[in-house]
A and B are shown apart, each in its own frame.
Chain A
Amino acid sequence: MVRDTVIQWRARLSRYRLVGGKCRECQKAFYPRVKSCPYCGSRSVDDVELPRVGRLVAYTAVYSVESEARSGSPVVVGLVDLGVARVVSEITDVADPDKLERGSQVEAVFRKLYEDGDEGVIVYGVKFRPRR
């Protein structure tokens, strides 16, 4: 299966800088940036950099991992509330997933996401880690 390097390049702003969209009509913010509002369908959407600190709403440790994550199992994934919007992200720098606390603060960090298996391109982006 080919990871499309061009697709990932195009989405770099959202991935690198947490750029989402904010709807001028319904006022909702969302991630990632797109030109139409997924909530109300409005086309009046501005780019907005989302807050880089949020609250961990829910989390899971994934053991039934996909092929590229076999060396990193378990993968910790969280639903993060940034106040204006929520995001699904990997939670990194977690020594023991059982000690994560729901409701605790997490902050965005720039990390390697994966290597494109066919092209060898390394894809980077934001993950979240527990705030110390």
Chain B
Amino acid sequence: MSVSVKSASMVRVGRHYKVGVDDMVVEVADEALSDAGWRKPDAIVVSSVVYPRLSGQSDLASYVASSLGFQGVSAVAVEAGEASGLAAAMTAARLAAEGRRVLLVGVDKLSDAPSSVIYKVLKGVYHMGSDGWYMISHSAIPGLLADLYMSSYGVDRNTLSYWPALMHSHAKLNPYAMLRFAVNPEAVASAMPVAKPLTMLDSFPLGDGAAAITLAPAGDGGGIATLAAVESAVGPMTVAHADDPLDMPAVRAAWGKVKSATGVNSVDVMEIHDSYTIMAMLILEALGLSERGKAAEQVALGKFSQGGEGPLANPSGGLKARGHPVGATGVYMLAELALQLAGSFPGVRVDGARSGLAVGINAHGSTAYSALLVSSN
């Protein structure tokens, strides 16, 4: 399975009170379709998580296709919690590989309700048949994992603070990022607590977003990048069932499937799911890019930053600072990587990048998706 990414478009992540899902979709869809030179796609795949639960709208894909005036197209919505965007890409890529011109849209609205309501909706990414009986919100499990990480590996709080600082330094240059300002590592530990030891500066802002890419069969010619593979694997639904809660077997398995499908074993740039600082650390370690318990220290020493060792991590600013409009996040990752490989990402750029990896997870890694993009030329 290898399909061509013809175009990519995004709106800036933010609290867009005056704009609804329909208008945000029109904006990204029109730009992506126009850049692809299509009037209308054969199929639309839609990813959204919070909006359908707040609005009560089912069959959001038909709603979106219909509001775009695309009667007659195939439309399907895909949901896999926080990994929805890449799950939708898995479906979209296979529809494109069968010969269709596909519009993949990720859209979500987190500013339509107070944060406590959003946290209640987002708690649903965890095991609702046990952990969800309790007031775990969205951040309790990451808080537990950060506590366990620090005590198991002897990592201190301040060592974890370099990740958010790196993300903010990237987001500052990304016009599509929600939080475009620098943050000092020293400020992270003393910020407002979210789930101790994690603070507000370890977690994503609640923002709205929409992103779209167009996908066509590989033989179609042109395109800004090639989507070489999208794979996924399921892990334990609760950290209580994990043999080792600090391991993310699903991330390793999904990346393993991509490696065996493509023969590619390393990449130049990546966008990974750093909903909380701890998640980035666990993903870097599960990908084999850091030894267990060492990711935070390596980030503090400059690994994964521009000019540093290892693939550049999250030139977008990541979920931390670009934002995490939940259902749209995976599509942002793909759009950003496609633009990176085309040399036209309007922020921190990896010169001459030939390959990019998107890693999305739900919750603590109850599922993981891995998408590999390679340069088209």
Are A77's CB and B143's CB within 8 A?
yes
Closest chain B CB from A17 CB (angstroms): 14
- Give chain B residues whose Cβ lies under 8 Å from the Cβ of A63: 192-196
B145 interface residue (CB < 8 Å to A): yes
B114-122, B157-165, B338-346: which lies at the interface: B114-122
Are B147's CB and A59's CB within 8 A?
yes
Binary per-residue interface labels of chain B (105-120) against chain A in the complex, 1 for a CB within 8 Å, 0 otherwise: 0000000001111011
A32 and B147 alpha carbons, distance in the complex (Å)? 24
A73 to chain B: closest residue by CB: B135
Are B241's CB and A39's CB within 8 A?
yes
- Give chain B residues whose Cβ lies under 8 Å from the Cβ of A39: 241
Are B133's CB and A67's CB within 8 A?
no
A38-B119 contact, Cβ under 8 Å, with A63-B192, A77-B144, A114-B135 = no
Binary per-residue interface labels of chain A (83-97) against chain B in the complex, 1 for a CB within 8 Å, 0 otherwise: 001111110000001
Question: What is the count of residue pairs linking A and B with beta-carbon distances less than 8 angstroms?
Answer: 134
A129 interface residue (CB < 8 Å to B): no
Are B117's CB and A67's CB within 8 A?
yes
- Give chain A residues whose Cβ lies under 8 Å from the Cβ of B192: 63
Are A90's CB and B134's CB within 8 A?
yes
- Select B240's contact among A1, A59, A87, A114, beta carbons within 8 Å: A87
Q: Which residues, 41 to 62 on B, are CB-close (under 8 Å) to A?
A: 53
Are B134's CB and A88's CB within 8 A?
yes
A39 and B140 alpha carbons, distance in the complex (Å)? 24
A114 to chain B: closest residue by CB: B135
A32-B129 contact, Cβ under 8 Å, with A102-B147, A102-B151 = yes
- Give chain B residues whose Cβ lies under 8 Å from the Cβ of A34: 129
A59 and B198 alpha carbons, distance in the complex (Å)? 12
Are B130's CB and A69's CB within 8 A?
no
B216-224, B231-239, B262-270, B320-328: which lies at the interface: B231-239
Binary per-residue interface labels of chain B (1-14) against chain A in the complex, 1 for a CB within 8 Å, 0 otherwise: 00000000000000
A81 and B246 alpha carbons, distance in the complex (Å)? 15
Are B135's CB and A69's CB within 8 A?
yes
- Give chain A residues whose Cβ lies under 8 Å from the Cβ of B140: 60, 62, 75, 77, 88
Are B115's CB and A64's CB within 8 A?
yes
User: Footprint of B on A, CB under 8 Å?
Assistant: 1, 8, 11, 14-15, 30-32, 34, 38-39, 57-70, 72, 74-75, 77-79, 85-90, 97, 102, 113-114, 123, 125, 127
Contacts A88-B130, A88-B134, A88-B144 given; 10 further ones with Cβ under 8 A? Answer: A60-B144, A62-B140, A64-B138, A64-B195, A66-B117, A67-B120, A78-B144, A86-B241, A88-B136, A90-B134
5 A-B pairs with the lowest CB-CB distances in the bound complex, closest first: A60-B143, A69-B135, A66-B120, A58-B148, A77-B140
